[in-house]
Amino acid sequence: MQPGSVASDRHRSTIQLDADPASPARARAFLVDQLSEWGCLHLLEVGALLTSELVTNVVLHASTPMVLAVSLTSTQVLRVEVTDLAPDRPLRPRLPGTSTEGRGLALVAALASRWGVEPREGGKTVWVELR
């Protein structure tokens, strides 16, 4: 799949993105399109923020191409997954302090219904769910 290309079925869609500064905006636009199509704009504000954070983390820390997948369950749970090619696990969430890293995951932990990291061959998937 080429960067920017989209694969979709009724309740799951994916897009491949490069590790460049424009990718978070592309990811948010992709999420808006999907949630509009699925009639779930009530999930947009927090979903866009968390999607942007996950994609930004790949751009800043993994520096690899990534696949963004968004899906919606029959019970209206939005799941956002970002899979990259870096095997390192993300930093643990940190409360604001002197460190400039790890704050984004604290935001993810505070706003997501659930979130986690799954190792993949040659990389990892970081995911969030919103109810």
pTM over cut 0.75 = yes
pLDDT of 13: 96
| Range of the structural domain that residue 83 is part of | 6-130
Q: Does residue 1 fall inside a structural domain?
A: no
pLDDT of 88: 83
Tell me which residue of 19, 51, 20 sits closest to 33, measured CA to CA.
51
Does position 113 have pLDDT exceeding 80, yes or no? yes
Terminal Cα-to-Cα distance of the chain (whole angstroms): 30
> What are residue 120's DSSP bridge partners?
123
Q: Does residue 13 fall inside a structural domain?
A: yes
pLDDT of 103: 72
Mean pLDDT of 84-113: 75
How many CB atoms lie under 10 A from the CB of residue 36? 11
* Amino acid letter for position 78: L
Residue 43 per-residue DSSP state: G
CATH number at residue 113: 3.30.565.10
pLDDT of 75: 87
| Percent of residues in the chain assigned helix, strand, coil, to nearest 5 | 35, 30, 35
Q: How far apart are CA 79 and CA 90, in angstroms?
A: 18
Domain count, the chain: 1
Q: Does residue 98 fall inside a structural domain?
A: yes
